[in-house]
Structure 1
Amino acid sequence: MPNRLAHETSPYLLQHANNPVDWYPWDKEALEKSKQEEKPIFLSIGYSACHWCHVMEHESFESQAIADYLNEHFVSIKVDREERPDLDQIYMNAVQLLTGHGGWPMSVFLTPELMPFFGGTYWPPTAGRGMPGFDQVLRAVVDAWENRREVALQQSRLLTERLQRIGLGSAESTEIPPGRVSMAVRQMEESFDPKHGGFGSAPKFPHTMNIDLLMRHFIDTRNEKLLPMVTTTLDKMAMGGIYDHLGGGFARYSVDEYWLVPHFEKMLYDNALLISNYVDAYRLTKNENYARVVKESCDYVLRDMTDQQGGFHSTEDADSEGEEGKFYVWTPAEVDQLLGDPLVAQRFRQVYDITESGNFEGHNIPRLKKPIAQYAQDFGTTEQELRDEMNRAREVLFNVRCQRIRPGKDDKILASWNGLMIEAFAKAGATFNEAAYIAAAKRAARFVLEQMTDDTDRLLHAYRHGQAKLPAYLDDYTYVASAMFALYEATFETEWLKHSQKLIDIAIEHFYDTESGGFFYTADDHEQLIARNKDFYDHSVPSGNGVAALVLAKLGKLLGSEKYLQLAEETISAAAEILQKHPIAAGQLLVAYDYLHQPGSEVVIAATDRPSCDELVHAIHKQYQPNTLFVLAIDGEHLGANLQPMISGKSPLNGQPTVYVCENFQCNAPVSAADYLAT
C-alpha cells in the first residue's frame, strides 16, 4: 500500500510513495501526531536529481527492518528541498552546526516543537566505509529520546537559539568599507586555476555570480588580469565533459579539476545562469564559440525542459537504468559503427577523446582536449570544414542517443528558477536577434503570472500537472521581477516593466525588514517556523537579497525613484558584516553594490517608428554595458507615467532616430544613431 506521499505532486516525494516507511509530507497531520504521541520527527530532505538520495532510499527506506523501526519510534517526514527551500535553509544550518558540513540527503531529528537535536546527511544502512550505520543512528537517537530526553531538549533549545541568530544576520555594522569588490576579486585571483579555469580544486562548480562580477569589474577597471579569468573558465567548461557536446546544456558540476567528469544531473538554474554568463561574455568579447554554446543550451531547454504550457521544468537526473551517466557515454565501437566512414569516425574519436581505455569508468564522455581550430591544423583542413564534419557526426550520435532510455526528469515548474531562465532567454534572444527565444521567454513569463498566482496576485512557488501551490519565497519574487525587467530591456514593451515593479512592491510589503533592512526569505504571513531567515550568501543560485538590491537599483535609476534606491542601499548595508569579512561569498550583493556606485548612464532612443531604429536596437543589444539603462520612445506610444520624467522633451530630430544620453545627473546633447554607435 502506498503511504501518504502518493497524494503529493512533487516527483521526488512520489518516488517514495511505495516505501514501507510510513512517510508523511510536512503538514499539520504529521506535526500534530508528533506532539500527541510525544515522538521525535525524522525529517529527510532531498531532491529528485540527487544521486545519494536515491542510494539512501534503496538501501534504507526500502528496507522493511529499518522502516519498521522508523514507524514504531518516529514520525517520518519527507520534504522536497526544491518545494520547501525555507525548511531546507533552516535545517541545513542546523546540520552544518552539528557536523561541520552539509549536503543531501539531509537527515535531521526534531523535537515535536520542530527544534533539531541531531542530524547528518547520508548514512549507509549498516556501519561501513568509516561511517556509522543508519540502524545504529536510529537506535542511538531513540535511546537519547527515551533515556536522556532533557539533555536532547536542552541541545535543541540551544541549537534553535543559534539558528535564529544566524537567520537574522548581524546588524552590528552597516558601514561597507570601500574596496569590497576589489577584495572579492583578489580572493578570486588567489583561488583561480589558470590552467583549467574555475576557482579552487575538485569538485569544481560554475561560480556564475563571481563570473558576472569579474566581467563588471573588468569594465570598471580595465584590469587586464580579469578577463582571462572569465574566458579561460568559460572556454574550459565549454570544452569539458560538464558540457553536453551532443545535446547542449551543462551538468551540475565537475568531480575533477579538468571539467571532465560531471555529476551528470542537469539543473534548470545552472543552465539559466550559465547562458547569461556566456551571453555577457559574447557581448564583451564577440567570441562566436560563446554564441554557439548559448544557442545550443537554449535549444536544449526548449527541446527537453519546456512544458507544453510554456513553463520550464526543473531537473534531469544523473542516472538512467540505475547507472550514473549511462545516457551520455560512448565506446569507440559505437562511434565507428554509427559514423560508418572510417576517417570521419577516427577524427571524431580524436577530437572528442573517445578512446579504448575510456575517460569514465571504461566508457567515454565526449570532451574537447583542445580547440577545434587546433585539431583542424593537425588534420590539414580548415576550421570550418572540420566543424561542419563534426556537426554532422554529432547529429548522428545525438539522434541515436535520443533512442536510449532517458534519465528521469522532475517536471515541476518553480517560479524562481523560471525567472532565471526567462531572463536568460530574454538576453539571448535580444543579443542574437532570435525571435524564438524572446517568444519562449514571454510565454514562460505569462505562464508564471497567470498560472502561478493566487486570487490576490501573490505568487505561488511550485506548479505541476495543473496544480499551483505553496506561498512564494523571496527568490520567487526577486528572480521573476528581474526576469520581467530583462524582458523589458529585450523588447522595450512596458508591460514587463510594470510587472517587475508590481512584484518588487509585493516583496517590499511582505518580506522587507523595516527595522534592520534587508529581506526575509519568507513572507510576513508565512507558516511560522522556528526561525525566519535572511539569506545574503550566494549558493548555487544568487541570494534573494542580492537580486532584490539589483532590481531595486535598476528600477530606482530608470524611474527616478529615491525610495527604490534607498531600499537597495539599505539591503546591501544589512549585509555589511558579510561584505566586510567574506565578500567573495556574496557576489550578487557586490554586483548590486557595483551597479549602484559605479558611473552609469540612462539612454533614451527617440524614433518615429520601430522599424527605423531596429538596426540601432540590435546593435545596442550586442554590446556589454552592464551599467547602462535604455528606454525606447516611439512617437505616439504611451509609456506610462513612470517613464515620463525620463523621456520628457526627447523626440527624434529631423525624423531620424535620435539618442539622448544622461550621465551623472546631467544630459548630453542628442546625437544621431550613427554617431552614437561610433562612440
Structure 2
Amino acid sequence: MTDAAPTDRNRLDDEESPYLRQHADNPVNWQPWDEQALLAAQARDDPIFLSIGYSACHWCHVMEDESFEDPEIARKLNEHFVPIKVDREERPDLDSIYQSICQMTQGTGGWPLSVFLTPEGEPFFVGTYFPPESKRGMPGFGQLLEDITESWETERDGLEQRAEKWTNAVKGELEETPESVGEAPSEALDAAAQAALRGADRDHGGWGRGQKFPQAGRVHVLLRAHRRTGREEFRTVATEALDAMIEGGLYDHVGGGFHRYCTDRDWTVPHFEKMLYDNAEIPRALLAGYQATGDERYREYALDTLDFVTRELQHPDGGFFSTLDAQSEGESGEREEGAFYVWTPAEVEEAVAGADFDTVDPDTAADLFCDRYGVTEPGNFEGRTVLTVVAEIGDLADAYDLDSDTVERVLDETTTAVHAAREQRPRPRRDEKILAGWNGLMLSAYAEAGLVAGPEATEPAVDALAFLREHLWDEQEERLARRYKDGDVSVDGYLEDYAFLARGAFDLYQATGDLDHLAFALDLARAIEANFWDADAGTLYFTPADGEGLVARPQELTDQSTPASAGVAADLLLALDHFRPRDGFADIAETVLATHGDEIESDPLRHASLVLAADGYEHGGHELTVAADPLPEDWRAAVGEAYLPGRILTRRPPTADGLAEWLARLDLDEAPPIWADRSARDGEPTVYACRAFTCSPPRHDIGAALEWFETGD
C-alpha cells in the first residue's frame, strides 16, 4: 500500500496565507507552490493550472464562487491538471514572471492571474478572470479546461514549442541587461516631469481617462522637478492629484485610510480594498505636498491615515497587517463589494439621531453631513453613496447660516457618530500576514510624520521595527524572511523586502536619531550587495542569487503598485554611502543607473523611483548634520516644515568621546565625511548644511541653514 499522492487532496489548510486558506474548502485539490506539487506534476505528466491572486482581490472571490466551488469544474481540474494556488503578496517573484507573460501576450494583466504551465513550469496559455460560461468575448472556464486538456493530448508538441518561445521571451524581458553600458542618466527628472504633465488629467486630477490609481511616485517627481526648475505647472499637477485623492472616494472619509483605486475618471467609486502599501506611500506623498505648499489639509489627511493604520492594521506586538478586504456582509446576508463603506440619507440620520450637538439639532447635522459628502437618495453606487467631498465648508456655512468653525465642528462630531454606527456593521476581512517590504514602506511614512508632527508619531513604527527584527531578521545569517503570520515565518526575502525595510530603518534613524536604526539599515545594505547585486550584469535582481530556480530571474525596474525595488535600493545605497564610503555602496548605485540608463531615458515616467535615484546621484541630496544630542525640538519642527527632497538628516555626538563611541558601534575606524570635523561650536547645537558637494559655514540657527539651501548665502 502506497502513501496518497499530494494531489489527492486540497492541501491549503496546511498554509498560513489567509488567501490560500480562503480556498482550503474548495473541491479543487489545490496545492501550494512547493516541491511536492511540482514533482507531482512531473510524475503525472499533467499540465499545471496556476492561479495567482490575493486576499482582498474582488474578482478572485468572484472566480472562486463561480468556478472553484463548482464540483464539475473541480473534477476537470483535479483529473487533468495539477492546480496550484499562489498568494501574489507572498510570492511576488512568481507573479512578476507570469504577469509579464500575460502582458506580453495579451496586452494586459491583472488578478486573478490564470496560467497553464508545462510540468516544468513553462507557460503556454495565460489569462486573468474567466467566467464559468462564455460571455463578452471571454471563453467559459469549464470549456477552456476541456479545450486545453484535448490540446495537451493531441497537440502537445505545439504547446511545448509555444511554452519554450514564451519562456525565452520572458527571460529576455526580465533578466537581460545591455551589453554596452554608458553613464547614469542626466536630466531624467525633468523628462519624467514633462511626461507626467503631458499625461495628466487636468479636469479631474491624476492620470488616465478611465480607472484612477494613486501614483505617489509621480507626485514626488513633479514636486522635486518644481523645486529644481521653479515651473509652477509641475507643482499644480502634483497638487491636483493629491486633491483628487483626498476629496474623492479613494479616501475613507469616515474611518480614514485609502482604498486601492477608483473605477471611474472622476475618483468617485473606489475598488474598496485597503492595502498597507497605499496607506504608506500616499501619506508620504501628502507630507511632501504639505512641505512643498504649506497646505495644512495634506498634513491632516496624512496623519489621519496613519491613525487608521495604527488603529486597524497594527499587530498588538508591533508589525503591520497587509490588507482589508473589499467585501463584507451586506443587507442581503451575502458578501458585497463596499457594503461596509456606503451610506443612504436614512442611515446617516439614524447614526446621528442620539448625538448631542451644541449648536444644531441632529437632523441639521445629518443634512450638513449629507450635503458635504454627497449622500443622496439615488446614491452613486448601487443605490447607496460613496462619500466624496462635494461642498466646501464656506458654502455650507452660507447655506446653513452658520460660521465656518461651527460647520467644521458639527461635521467632526457627525463623522464621529457615523463612524461609531459603522463599527456595528459586519467588518471586511483582514489579511493578517506581516510582510517585511510593505512594513518598510510604512516605517518611512511614520518617520516623516515624526519630523512633521513630533516624536510621538514615530512610536508605532519603532514598535514595528522591533517586531520585524525579532521575527524576520536572522542576525547570525544576515538573512531576512518576507512573511510572518501567527508565529509562522516563511519565504526568503526579496530585494523589495531588504530595500524597503532598510529605507524605513534609515528614515527612522533620521527622525529619532537612534543609532541602532542606522546600524540595521547598513546591515541590510550589505545583505543587498551579497544577495542581489550581480557585478557582471551590473544590476540588482529581485530574487536572491541562491533562491529558487524559476523559469526567469526577474529584475524590478518599473514602479507598479509599489515603488521599483531597484530604484529604492539605488537611492538608499547612495544615502548610506555617506556613512560607509569604503563599502562602495555608491559604486553599486551608479552602475545600476548606468546599466539601465537608456531604459530610464526612453520611458522615465514608468521608472519614477530610478529617476529619483538618478536625480539624487546627479545633484546630491540635502545634507543636514546636527551636532547636538538630542535634536532641539524647534529644529525638528523647522526641518519637518521644509521640503528637502533627498534629505539626509544625521546627528553627530557633540563631543569627541561621544563620536568615538558611535564609531565603535558602527565598526568604523574613522569618522565618515558626513560626521568628520563637524563638532558642536561654542558649546551650542550646531548644524552643517551641504548640497552638491558644497557646504555652508557651521551655524547655530537652523532657519539660516535651511535658507542656505535656497540662496547659497
**Is the Cα contact below 8 Å between 1:41 and 1:109 reproduced in 2?**
yes
Please point out which of 155, 168, 173 is paired with 1:148.
155
| Aligned 1:544-559 pairs, distance under 5 A | 544-559=565-580
Which residue matches 1:159?
A: 166
Tell me, in whole angstroms, the C-alpha distance in 1 between the residues paired with 2:391 and 2:198: 25
Selected match of 1:445 from 454, 465, 487? 465
Deviation at 1:384, TM superposition (A): 2.4
Among 383, 389, 400, the residue aligned to 1:362: 383
* Structural mapping, 1:474-553, within 5 Å: 474-553=495-574
Partner of 1:429: 450
Within the candidate set 334, 347, 351, 2:347 is matched to 334
Report the Cα distance in structure 2 between the residues aligned to 1:45 and 1:465, rounded to whole angstroms: 22
Match of 2:141 in 1: 134
CA distance in 2, matches of 1:523, 1:468: 18
Partner of 2:284: 276
Q: Aligned partners of 1:292 and 1:376: how far apart in 2?
A: 21
Task: Quote the residue 1:658 is aligned against.
Answer: 686
**Is structure 2 residue 259 aligned with structure 1 residue 259?**
no
Q: Distance in 2 between matches of 1:660 and 1:557?
A: 14
Instruction: Note closer, same or farther for the CA distance 1:558–1:55 as it changes in structure 2 (3 Å cut).
Output: same
Which position in structure 2 is the counterpart of 1:56? 63
2:625 is paired with a residue of what secondary structure? strand
Residue in 1 that maps onto 2:597: 576
Aligned match of 2:421: 400
State the distance in 2 between where 1:259 and 1:427 align.
27
Match of 2:210 in 1: 202
Query: Aligned AA for 1:60?
Result: S
8 Å CA contact retained: 2:627, 2:687: yes
Is the contact made by 2:185 and 2:614 (CA closer than 8 Å) also made in structure 1? no
Does residue 676 of structure 1 match 2:684?
no
Measured after TM superposition, the shift of residue 577 of structure 1 is 3.0
The corresponding residue for 2:35 is 28
Q: What aligned pairs does 1:277-316 form with structure 2 within 5 A after superposition?
A: 277-316=285-324
Which residue of 1 is the match for residue 4 of structure 2? none
Distance in 2 separating the partners of 1:478 and 1:104: 25
Identity of aligned residues (%): 39
Tell me the CA shift for residue 357 of structure 1. 1.1
Q: Pick from 587, 591, 608: which aligns with 1:587?
A: 608
Shift of 1:520: 0.7
* TM-score normalised according to structure 1 size: 0.97
CA distance, structure 1, for counterparts of residue 219 and residue 622 of structure 2: 23
Which whole-Å CA distance do the structure 2 matches of 1:493 and 1:61 have between them?
50
Question: 8 Å contact 2:624–2:648 — kept in the other structure?
Answer: yes
8 Å CA contact retained: 1:2, 1:18: no
Contact 1:253 1:262 in 2 (8 A): yes
Pair 1:88 & 2:95 matched: yes
CA contact (8 A) 1:172 1:577 kept: no
More divergent stretch after superposition (572-581 vs 258-267): 572-581
Q: Give the match's secondary structure for 1:540.
A: coil
Deviations 1:183-237 (A, max 9, x none): 2212111111122110111100011111111111111111111111111111121
Q: Pick which of 228-237 and 10-19 moved more.
A: 228-237
> Which residue identity does 1:317 align to in structure 2?
D
Residue in structure 2 matched with residue 381 of structure 1 by the alignment: 402
- 1:562–1:308: structure 2 CA closer, same or farther, 3 Å change rule? closer
Deviation at 1:2, TM superposition (A): 7.0
1:677 offset after TM fit, Å? Answer: 5.4
The 3-state SS of whatever aligns with 1:631 is: strand
Given candidates 629, 633, 642, the residue that maps to 1:623 is 642
Q: Does 1:456 align with 2:477?
A: yes
Question: Which of 177, 186, 196 lines up with 1:188 in the alignment?
Answer: 196
- Within the alignment, does 1:240 sit opposite 2:248 as a pair? yes
Q: Which deviates the most, 590-599 or 15-24?
A: 590-599
Number of residue pairs matched by the alignment: 676
Q: What is the alpha-carbon distance in structure 2 between the residues aligned to residue 297 and residue 388 of structure 1?
A: 20
Question: Structure 2 CA distance, aligned partners of 1:633 and 1:67?
Answer: 64
SS in 1 for 2:684: coil
Please give the per-residue CA displacement for 1:345-396, whole angstroms capped at 9, x wherever unaligned: 1111111101111111110111102433443344343332211110000000
Deviations 1:245-296 (A, max 9, x none): 0100000000011111000000000110001111111112221111210121
Instruction: Give the distance between the partners of 1:42 and 1:2, measured in 2 at CA.
Output: 15
1:65 to 52, 56, 72: 72
Which whole-Å deviations, capped at 9, do the CAs of 1:277-336 have from their partners, x for residues lacking one?
111111122211112101210110011000112100000111011110000011111112
Cα–Cα, structure 1 residues 345 and 19, in superposed 2: closer, same or farther, change >3 Å?
same
User: Quick check: 1:538–1:588 contact (8 Å CA) kept in 2?
Assistant: yes
SS of 1:671's partner is coil
Which residue in the other structure is 1:228 paired with? 236
Structure 2 alignment gaps of length 5 or more: 1-7, 330-334, 354-361, 709-713
In 2, the alpha carbon distance for the partners of 1:370 and 1:574 equals 50
Aligned partner of 2:5 in structure 1 is none
Deviations, residues 576-619 of structure 1 (Å, cap 9, x unaligned): 23212211100000010111112544322223x427x2321231
Write the deviation string for residues 154-186 of structure 1: whole angstroms up to 9, x where unpaired: 111111111111112441553355432222212
In structure 2, the residue matched to 1:597 is 618
Change (3 A) 1:217 1:478: same
Equivalent residue, structure 2, for 1:323: 336
Find the residue that maps to 2:160 and give its secondary structure. Answer: helix
Structure 1: distance between partners of 2:578 and 2:604? 25
Distance between the aligned counterparts of 1:114 and 1:84, measured in 2? 15
Could you tell me how far apart the structure 1 residues matched to 2:286 and 2:114 are?
37
The verdict on how the C-alpha distance between 1:559 and 1:371 changes in structure 2, with shifts beyond 3 A counting, is: farther
Aligned counterpart, 2:662 = 639
Taking the aligned partners of 1:173 and 1:224, their CA distance within structure 2 comes to 38
Amino acid at match of 2:528: A
Change (3 A) 1:475 1:555: same
CA distance in 2: counterparts of 1:262 and 1:643, whole angstroms: 51
